Structure 1
Amino acid sequence: MRRPATERPLPPADDHAARFARQREADRSATAEDYVELIADLLREDGEARAVDIARRMGVSQATVTATVGRLQRDGLVETKPYRGLFLTEAGQQMARTAKARHDLVVRFLIAVGLDSETAEEDAEGLEHHASEKALTAFAQFLARHDKGQP
């Protein structure tokens, strides 16, 4: 039976499994990246990052924030100080910088290909965690050409 030109054959099973494994890992790291990025933003904007503010901005319960922050502490990304809120370790700050740069790149790319800024911001929240380094490099190269007025 002939396959329509738009359909591609399934990849080899090992390659297919590796793709799904990468996506599951991206899903796991996405939460940590979102939290450290938000903590960095709150520290920059408000001078403090409190669990209640994170819960409100993430749209989750304080119990969820507490559990996630506990995991981030175990992973060496966040420190808590009594009566002073949350702070990022050096590793957390590095993760936040990387996540922010990736987010900004994806937003700029989406705007460059025609999305409005609000939709680009919304869509970047998911895409930034799942785009490969190869895709992000291609986005950056496209933007470099685009900014110079080249196709």
Structure 2
Amino acid sequence: MRTVLNLTRTLYGFESRRFDVCPQFIQVLLWELRWRRRHNGGVAEQSFRRTRDDHALETAADYVELIEDLIATSGEARGSDLAKRLGVSHVTVTKSLTRLARDGYVSYQPYRSVFLTEKGEALARQSRKRHKLVLDMLLALGVPPEIAEHDAEGMEHHVSEATLNAIEGFLSARAR
């Protein structure tokens, strides 16, 4: 009986004692639970997947911002420059650039300069805007500039669009 109660709570969000407990019913519940986990993933799995995707986008945003900076300051972005600025190995940069090229953010060939695609430029602009909004909010709260800059770099990647819109509204109302 306890198994049925746990299964009904897991599958349907409530505990029910109204079911006649029979082996066929338990088999159906177990089959549905396995099917849901296989096709939808559990709640924890979906949460981890979202976090993993957020980190992948965070890495992509950091790379495209840095590539844009390097192109603006020195006219080109090379893998060795990225490795030096990010403090990672050349192998790590190569893997990341391969992934960014696969996802359409950069145009890249080994031992050549790296260029942003339109998609990469759009991500860089979006990332800079997010960074500026979070930084301005932290400064408006009275956080010292060097701490605000450091904190904004980490926070910008994990703030929802709704929160960014609220920050933008707050800052524009404050400026009036």
Quote the Cα distance in structure 1 between the aligned partners of 2:129 and 2:121.
12
Structure 1's 18 and 145: CA in aligned 2 closer, same or farther, altered over 3 A? farther
Which segment drifts farther, 82-91 or 106-115? 82-91
Q: More displaced, 31-40 or 15-24?
A: 15-24
Counterpart in 1 of 2:93? 65
Conserved in 2, the CA contact under 8 Å of 1:23 and 1:130?
Answer: no
Name the residue aligned to 1:43. Answer: 71
Q: Which runs of 5+ in 1 are unaligned?
A: 1-11
1:1-150 correspondence to structure 2 within 5 Å: 21-80=49-108, 84-148=112-176
Shift of 1:145: 1.7
TM-score (normalised: structure 2): 0.70
Deviations along 1:42-100, whole A, 9 cap, x unmatched? Answer: 11121111111111111111110011000001111111257641100111111111111
Residues 15 and 83 of structure 1, relative CA distance in 2, 3 Å threshold: closer
Q: In 2, Cα distance between the equivalents of 1:23 and 1:136?
A: 19
Q: Is the 8 A contact 1:48 1:84 kept in 2?
A: no
RMSD: 2.2
In structure 2, stretches of 5+ residues that fail to align are 1-12, 14-41
Cα–Cα, structure 1 residues 19 and 134, in superposed 2: closer, same or farther, change >3 Å? farther
- Aligned-partner Cα distance in 2 for 1:77–1:114: 36
SS in structure 1 at match of 2:155: helix
Number of aligned residue pairs: 136
Q: Which deviates the most, 65-74 or 52-61?
A: 52-61
Q: Structure 1's 21 and 71: CA in aligned 2 closer, same or farther, altered over 3 A?
A: closer
- The question of whether the paired residues in 2 share the 8 Å contact of 1:52 and 1:62 is answered with yes
1:131–1:24 distance in 2 versus 1, CA, 3 Å: same
Bigger Cα displacement from structure 2, 125-134 vs 21-30: 21-30
Give the match's secondary structure for 1:103.
helix
1:24 shift after superposition: 3.1
SS in 2 for 1:129: coil
